Amino acid sequence: MNEQIQQVQEWASVIGPNVYLQALAIALAFIVVGKIADWLLSRAIGRIVRRSKTDVDDRLIALLHRPIFISFVLIGLALATQRIDLPEAAEYLTLGILKTIAVIVWYNLFRHLTALIVQVAQRRRSSKLTQTSMLPLAQNVVKVVLFALTVYFLFLAWDIDVTAWVASAGIVGLALSFAARDTLSNLFAGVSIVMDAP
């Protein structure tokens, strides 16, 4: 990754010795690349998926084009920030904010993608999972896991060491599993009965 950053900075040095102008060129280049990627996704791939009979792939393309463009913009802004050589505290704050925005954008994408998958699964009544009331449980489990991963990546974005948090969560989870042993066994037994459909 550092090699690619060095290559981008060497490319920007062609513009001239002014680092602010170089940073502006890096940011604008990534905005243009993001627009090109957005155009390719929405136009070229969009034409291909419009030929299908379902609207699921159309909705997936509609969900993807905004996060992809924003990701290119955020990468360009991060590289431009590193090119300016801000003081360490200002650079840490700026890069932390950009990473946080990226995590939130991708969290929203996966949240909407989960809702899309649930809608598609509700339409299809062929599997045991959708014939029963298991779909809301699965959706809630995915939401909790997605939220936990988002919090984890937010900690990583701000360079917070999460090993102590993960160890504490493991200990708390072990204690809760012993305390709620009967409830958890009933939950898994209910899931097993519903899935087997005796």
Q: Which two tokens stand for residue 3?
A: 């090699």
Which residues in the chain show pLDDT less than 50? none
| Contact by Cβ (8 Å): 38, 65 | yes
What does pTM read for this prediction? Answer: 0.82
* Calpha distance 160→92 (Å, rounded): 12
pLDDT of residue 197: 66
Rounded to a whole number, what is the largest CA-CA distance in the chain?
75
Tokens 């996060």 belong to: 67
What confidence score (pLDDT) does residue 34 get?
92
| Residues contacting 53, CB < 8 A, separation 6+ | none
**Between 163-179 and 181-196, two packed helices, what is the crossing angle to 10 degrees?**
80
Give the integer Cα–Cα distance in Å for 108 and 118: 15
Position 129 scores a pLDDT of 53
Chain position carrying tokens 């650079």: 91
Give me 51's structure tokens.
Answer: 């030929």
Q: How far apart are CA 18 and CA 107, in angstroms?
A: 37
Residue 41 has what DSSP assignment? I
Name the residue among 122, 119, 108, 114 with its Cα closest to residue 139: 114
Q: What is the dihedral of CA 34, 22, 87, 158, to 10 degrees?
A: 10
